[in-house]
Structure 1
Amino acid sequence: MIKIIAMPILSITICCGPALAEPRNKEKKVAVVTNFSENDAVAQDLVKSFANALDRAASNDVAIKYEYYWSGGNTETAKIYAKKVAASSPDAIFAATTPVVSALLNETKTIPIVFATVADPIGSGFVENLAAPGKNVTGFINSEGSIAGKWVQYLKELLPDLPCISMMYNTRTAPYYKYYVGPFEDAAKSVSIEPILSNVSTEQEIEGTIRDLSDRKCGLVLMNDSFNFVHRQRISTVSEQYRVPVVAYNKATALNEALIAYGPEEVDAYRKAAGYVKKIIDGAQVGKLPVQLNTRFYLSVNLQKAKRLGIEIPASFLSRVDDEVE
């Protein structure tokens, strides 16, 4: 579904004197493309934070016209929308998630693209280097691959006898999965936990994977992946049903499937991305704006889920937690 929201264009006439020209507002079109679902409240809040930040930053004589595209975790839909966006020739594109950026870059080498919720822009071939991207794309990395080691560490701390741990992802929506797999496997082996890789692409596969992990008394790590995000409520229901503890990648997930979440405050990246789009609208070259890494990270714990799973969170762990979900 495509929603187009246009801000009104105001006409102001200044009289009295031939030397005074009539100022006109400039309309700039910004396409917002995500691999999230339109009816997802968390995703809506993230996108609104981008639009609100851009509206506040925009010059008084600029009216921003937004076009919204939600591909709902479907990479084929993302490709269809990428074609439509490129054909509409917006002044700038804000792209959230790796599949969306990949689809857009296959359609345009000239329209400026600013991204967020992207893991490995160099490995994905989006930019040449972080300091000087050099193409028509730049943006904000949500986390480095080494964060996977922290996910393992936190789950091991709460469950010291955990025999195995799986990392779940969908290779279609997370083609960068190897970026996290190495650190995940190294961290698991360093604390004598068997690492397991679980590639899933349907809700049925999610349930089957979690059921198998339950049989083996394993834990589950959710990789940064729009598939996991879109299906997080199903993951929550099934993991509780089979009593599998879950650690995930940002604090929004602690409201749903995760017992523990450690990762970036993504709303910061969305607001900063608005600043980049503003610079581009004002004439900056996208290839000269450095790719930046999120710098604000949070540790969250869902105390209700811990209680339902029969897991006691020690005071020493709680003393380091930034957010407790009651």
Structure 2
Amino acid sequence: MLKKIALSCLALTMCSTLAAGEQSQMRKKVAIITNFSETDAAAHSLVKNFTDTLEMSTPRNIAFQHDYYWAGGNIDAAKSHAKRIVSSQPDAIFAATTPVVRALLQETKTIPIVFATVADPVGSGFVENLAAPGKNVSGFINSEGSIAGKWVQYLKELVPGMSCVSMMYNPNTAPYYKYYVSPFEETARSMNMISALSPVADEKAIETAIGALSSKKCGLVLMNDSFNFIHRRTISSVSERNGVPVAAYNKATTQDEALVAYGPEEADAYKKAAGYVRKILDGAQVGKLPVQLNTHFYLSVNMQKAKKLGIQIPDSFLSRVDEEVE
């Protein structure tokens, strides 16, 4: 009889322990939204840096539900996704690119938002200042406006005879475009080049803009804009067909349309953003987490593109390159 009672007590203890374990398993919902295309492998790779880092930094008693939203460069889709996300009341939101952050902030002033691939959060009205954002949002800036001057310098170095240069962007997806314009124009002027702006909104406009540059023998600079990222393969084929050399802002663009690219290692920002989300889930106030600038920048050149354009890359340039894309 005593043996049966002991076994019963043991069984009850085990059941109680299991029940407690189940109760201690906390579930957290993190919504992930970008203005990139769902079919874009490069975009998925960036987002995976965020999710993998978040999972690895989390204790075993916490399980995540990740909800993914891809706006695909469509502002209306971004707004629709933002409404759906806020109505689902996630514990935190990770937002990549300016358009989706803007859409989210129109829907919530309380749910914590951590961003990456955003250019000018102060000028865009997202945060009060970088050191103390003060609202429900913080994150990582991909580059400062001065980087536009670097794009012009590198393109001119590779194409010394170039006498004019234009910068392409979509005003709808890059409402911060003025952030880059002054450094772009000032650098072009200092190098005795005529500068122009090429605002575009669709692929037909891309073809028209690049065709006009070809007749003037101009170069093209791509602003850090999700529209340019989404349409990078179209830009690649059209610019190559028209013999227009392109300077851009990240590794993915060098692998597609750009002759040369200089910009941040965006994967770093996505990993660091996961760290911010982890802190928020632990109780940190997002408005007290400083906005940070990417610190790891790289220079890459597309050797195959150079060959197709008949451009000889000098050894002095190659000695400074972080990556040669073949």
Do both proteins adopt the same fold according to a TM-score greater than 0.5, normalized to the shorter chain? yes
Change over 3 Å in CA distance of 1:18–1:317 after alignment to 2: closer
CA distance in 2, matches of 1:58, 1:75: 33
What's the counterpart of residue 3 of structure 2?
A: none
Q: Shift in Å at residue 251 of structure 1? A: 1.4
| Matches of 1:224 and 1:317, distance apart in 2 | 23
- Whichever residue aligns with residue 92 of structure 2, its letter is A
Tell me how far apart the structure 2 counterparts of residues 320 and 90 of structure 1 sit (CA, whole Å): 44
Deviations along 1:68-99, one digit per CA (max 9) or x if unpaired, are 00000111110110010111110000000000
Deviation at 1:15, TM superposition (A): 3.6
Change (3 A) 1:15 1:34: same
Report the residue type matching 1:215 in the other structure: S
Question: 1:7 maps to which residue?
Answer: none
Aligned to 1:212: 212
Aligned to 1:10: none
CA contact (8 A) 1:138 1:287 kept: yes
> Using the alignment, how far apart are the partners of 2:111 and 2:312 within structure 1?
51
Alignment correspondent of 1:173? 173
1:22 pairs with 10, 20, 23, which one? 20
Structure 2 matches for 1:1-326, cutoff 5 A? 15=13, 22-23=20-21, 24-326=24-326
In structure 1, distance between residues paired with 2:154 and 2:14: 70
Identity %: 68
How far is the alpha carbon of 1:22 from its aligned partner?
A: 1.3
On the 8 A contact 1:38/1:70 being kept in 2, the answer is yes
- CA shift, 1:19, in A, is 9.6
The aligned amino acid for 1:153 is: Q
Contact 1:14 1:22 in 2 (8 A): no
What CA distance in whole angstroms lies between the structure 1 residues aligned with 2:61 and 2:194? Answer: 59
Contact 1:185-1:195 within 8 A present in 2 as well: yes
Counterparts in 2 of 1:286 and 1:159: CA distance versus 1, 3 Å: same
Q: For residues 160 and 12 of structure 2, what CA distance do their matches in structure 1 show?
A: 73
Task: Tell me by how many angstroms 1:16 deviates.
Answer: 5.7
For the residue of structure 2 that corresponds to 1:28, the secondary structure is strand
TM-score relative to the length of structure 1: 0.94
Query: Distance in 2 between the 1:42 and 1:224 partners?
Result: 15
The higher radius of gyration belongs to 2
**Hey, which of these two has a bigger chunk of helix by percent?**
2
Structure 1 residues 14 and 73: alpha-carbon distance in aligned structure 2, compared to 1, 3 A threshold: farther
| Per-residue CA distance 1:54-77 (angstroms, 9 max, x = gap) | 000112211010000000011111
What TM-score comes out, normalization by structure 2 length?
0.94
The corresponding residue for 1:8 is none
Matches of 1:263 and 1:223, distance apart in 2: 11
Structure 1 residue runs of 4 or more that deviate by more than 2 Å after TM superposition: 13-21
**What CA distance in whole angstroms lies between the structure 2 residues aligned with 1:74 and 1:39?**
14
Which amino acid in the other structure matches residue 22 of structure 1?
Answer: A
Once the two structures are superposed, what CA deviation does each residue of 1:76-129 show, in whole Å capped at 9, x if it has no partner?
Answer: 110110010111110000000000000000000000000000000000000001
1:293 to 1:16, Cα distance in 2 relative to 1, 3 A: same
Could you say what secondary structure the match of 1:22 adopts? helix
CA distance in structure 2 between the aligned counterparts of 1:27 and 1:21, rounded to whole angstroms: 16
Structure 2 stretches lacking a partner, 5+ long: 1-10
> Can you list the C-alpha shifts for 1:143-165, whole angstroms capped at 9, x where unaligned?
00000000000011111111100
Amino acid at match of 1:185: E
Return the offset for 1:21: 7.6
Report if the CA contact (8 A) 1:14-1:20 is conserved: no
Aligned length: 314
Q: How far apart, in 1, do the equivalents of 2:12 and 2:105 lie?
A: 44
Tell me, yes or no, if the aligned pair for 1:14 and 1:21 is still in contact at 8 Å. Answer: no
| Alignment gaps of 5+ in structure 1 | 1-12
Distance 1:21 1:261, change over 3 A: same
Residue 311 of structure 2 aligns with an amino acid whose one-letter code is I
Q: CA separation of 1:14/1:163 partners in 2, compared to 1, >3 Å: closer, same or farther?
A: farther
Q: State the secondary structure of the residue aligned to 1:93.
A: strand
